[in-house]
Amino acid sequence: MSRSNLLKTQDSTFLDLIGNGKTYRVPAFQRDYSWEEEQWEDLWNDIEELTISLDKRHYMGALVVEASSDREFLIIDGQQRIATLSILALAIIAALKALGGTDEEKAANNDRALRLRGKFIGEKDPASLVETSKLFLNETDDAFYQDYLVQLRTPNNPRGLPKSNRLLWDCFQWFKKRLAPKATDGVTLASLLSETVARQLLFILITVEDELSAYVVFETLNARGLELSSTDLLKNYLFSRVNVAADLSALQRRWKTMMSIIKQERFPDFLRYHLLCDFPQIRKQRLFKQVRDQVHTPQDVFTLMDALDKRAELFAALNDAEHEYWLEVKEAKPYIRELQLFKVRQMTPLLFSAWEKLSPADFVRVLKLVSVISFRYTVICGLNTNELEPVYHKAAKALLSEQATTPADVFGQLRDIYVSDDKFIRDFEVKEIDTTGQRKKLAKFILCRLDTDVSGVSRDYEADPGTIEHILPENSSADWGVSFPSERQKDFIYRLGNLTLLESTLNRQIGNTLLSEKLPIYRNSSYGLTTTFAAAAPDEWTPAALDARQGQMAMRAAHLWRSDFE
């Protein structure tokens, strides 16, 4: 599909969007209103700046709509911004109607309020005298928006409102307070809406031809605020396949339960990994198309929900070592923590299959295997992660079809991504890990595992109180320039061979001193990795000495991070 057929884009002011008899509807099951004070404040500050610079424009980001006709549109992405601007318009109209003054001034302000209402909110029906609306929210919020905000009525018990309704009401009250200092005359208030908001706020209006186009477009957007997510688009499609009220209620309950387990923002990943058990490759950008091609009927929707229900808790547990899932499988917890530390997820389809087809003990063996593979392939060798998903899919499929029935069989399926000892050792020998940011935990994990092997004392990288000691200091003195020229020191500071573990009290003592002054303190350490180094340390710490130490560490690492099935 060419881009020209996929969408139409144009810059539009708020007045362009809301004028000329256009109406906008939020799909019934799209996310509820969710903006809070932080977002209201940001929007208000932007508007305040525009009142000072009348020739300035402010972009509000993309608004994605699907055209039902030339005047009716579904809001696919951007409902939070449009709803909030409409509430601001209502707050300005309310402030105009509340202004005092002479009878002539009151009449003028009421006329301004009436004209602004017709332009930005909707017109009064001549028969019922009820105000109509240009904007219709989702099924949770629309009744409150139409019956209270549009009519400028106060709810009897605002505190008892559902959360999103209360946010709508709070937004209206918040803007009324911000408008109070400006409510000195009707001209200023009316101009704020009819000029500043209407003409100086610009949107990138993207009109798409169907739901699939909307999903593809969404994947390229980074809209401001708490906007629509790909989860919302997937949800909207699934709910659109169900028409019976009782089925919709059941689906709503099940959806809510599932979101409480896996969280809204993670649903696309969960769904993709679920589908990767059966399909060799599914790009995130094509996830919506995959679902649309598979799910047509209400039965299809509930079949998919049944399958997802079975894996939702495991998906959550794979991202949480303290999840109750592991109470009966405590041996799994260290490997769950490791996979979180390595920031790898490609093996998820395999773990779904292993949990369903293997015993808990064999599941743990597979979990350990993928942790070892991940450490070798991703952490140390930094190989292309795009190659992983097809291999993990193949292994998952083999388990589900019972072509593989044991952890050893699984290793046979994964052998292509198991890095050889030779390559692992070569890459480990030159590996550096920056210890100044988030990767500091990774460096400590490696050092703790090595130290456990040297000393026989179990070292948990998260609980162990030791600190990472840089033999060549991060901020070295001039004396170090003899062995490590200053212009090259950055190439050695974070090499694994330059790192060891040391008690914090001892670390504070040694500062940036040379190796000869550090060695007596190293010998007093309780860490085997450090005392062993001190016992065989060279007289001077040089690049060659560092290379030699890191080579020894690499040989030990190849022994530690090894498959049980070779």
Tell me if 99 sits within 8 A of 183, measured CB to CB: yes
- Using CA atoms, how far residue 262 sits from 29, 167, 311, 316, 328, in Å, is 19, 25, 10, 5, 21
% residues pLDDT > 70 (the chain): 93
pLDDT of residue 264: 82
pLDDT of residue 227: 43
Average pLDDT over residues 326-345: 95
Q: Identify the residue with better confidence: 546 or 292.
A: 546
pLDDT of residue 137: 94
Q: Identify the residue with better confidence: 67 or 215.
A: 67
pLDDT of residue 293: 87
Taking only the tens place, the pLDDT of each residue in 360-369 is 999 999 999 9
Taking only the tens place, the pLDDT of each residue in 141-156 is 999 999 999 999 999 8
Residue 125 pLDDT level (bands cut at 50, 70, 90):
low
User: Helix or strand or coil: residue 287?
Assistant: helix
Task: Indicate whether 552 pLDDT > 60.
Answer: yes
Q: CA–CA separation, 88 vs 141, rounded Å?
A: 17
Question: Quick one: 278 exposed, middle or buried, by C-beta within 10 A (0-12, 13-18, 19+)?
Answer: middle
Q: CA–CA separation, 157 vs 152, rounded Å?
A: 15
Please provide the average confidence, as pLDDT, over all residues in the chain.
89
Q: CA–CA separation, 333 vs 339, rounded Å?
A: 10
Q: List the single range of 218-222, 329-333, 531-535 with lowest mean pLDDT.
A: 218-222
pLDDT of residue 543: 95
Q: List the single range of 201-215, 412-426, 506-520, 539-553 with lowest mean pLDDT.
A: 201-215
Task: Indicate whether 213 pLDDT > 70.
Answer: no
Q: CA–CA separation, 534 vs 142, rounded Å?
A: 72
Task: Indicate whether 496 pLDDT > 60.
Answer: yes
Taking only the tens place, the pLDDT of each residue in 12-61 is 899 999 877 889 999 877 888 999 999 999 999 999 989 888 788 888 88
pLDDT of residue 419: 97
Residue ranges of the alpha helices (H) in 148-229?
163-179, 186-191, 198-200, 211-218
Sketch the domain layout of the chain as residue ranges.
3-218, 229-317, 318-419, 432-560
Residue 101 pLDDT level (bands cut at 50, 70, 90):
confident
